[in-house]
Amino acid sequence: MSSKGLIRTALERARACVPLNSHPRFFQTPELPSQAFRSMGTLATITLGSDCADRIEPVTQHVRAIFDRLEREMSAYRSDSAISEIARMAGVAPVKVPADTYQVLSLGQRFGSLSVGVFNITAAPLASLWGFNGAAVPNTLPSDQSIGKLLKLVDHRGLVLHDGTAFLSLKGMSVDVGGIAKGYAIDRAYDYCLSAGIRDFLIDFSGNVRVAGRPSRREDWQIGVRDPFDRSSIIGKIALPSGMAVSTSGSYERFVDILGQRYSHIIDPRTGYPVTETASVTVLCNDAVTADALSTAFFVAGLKGSREILKKFTPSVDLLLVPDRFPTELWLTPGFGNVLTSNNAGQSFPLSDQR
Tens digits of per-residue pLDDT, 288-326? Answer: 999 999 999 999 999 999 999 999 998 899 999 999 998
Better-scored residue on pLDDT, 23 or 204: 204
In three-state secondary structure terms, 302 is helix
Mean pLDDT score of the chain, rounded to an integer? Answer: 89
Q: Residue 21: its pLDDT value, please?
A: 32
What's residue 124's pLDDT?
95
81 pLDDT higher than 90: yes
What is the per-residue pLDDT across 174-183, written as a single tens digit (0 to 9) for each?
Answer: 999 999 999 9
pLDDT of residue 252: 63
pLDDT at position 31 is: 78
pLDDT tier at 72, thresholds 50, 70, 90: very high
Cα distance between residue 82 and residue 86, in whole Å: 6
Q: What is the mean pLDDT of residues 103-108?
A: 98
Q: What is the DSSP code string of 188-236? A: HHHHHHHHTT--SEEEEETTEEEEES-SBTTBPEEEEEEETTEEEEEEE
pLDDT band at 144 (very low <50, low <70, confident <90, very high): very high
Question: Mean pLDDT, to the nearest integer, of 40-69?
Answer: 95
- On whether the pTM is more than 0.85, the answer is yes
Mean pLDDT of the 186-200 span: 97
- Asked if the model's pLDDT at residue 24 lies above 60, the reply is no
184-211 mean pLDDT: 96
pLDDT value of residue 351: 86
State percent of the chain over pLDDT 90. Answer: 77
> Sign of dihedral through CA atoms 206, 202, 110, 169?
positive
- Residue 4 confidence (pLDDT) above 60: no
pLDDT tier at 169, thresholds 50, 70, 90: very high
What is the secondary structure of 47-61 as a DSSP string?
A: EE-GGGGGGHHHHHH
For residue 275, is pLDDT > 60?
A: yes
Assess whether pLDDT exceeds 70 at residue 212.
yes
pLDDT at 30: 54
d(CA 254, CA 228): 13
**So what's the pLDDT on residue 330?**
95
Helix (H, G, I), strand (E, B) or coil at 150: helix
Lowest-pLDDT range of 234-238, 323-327, 345-349: 345-349
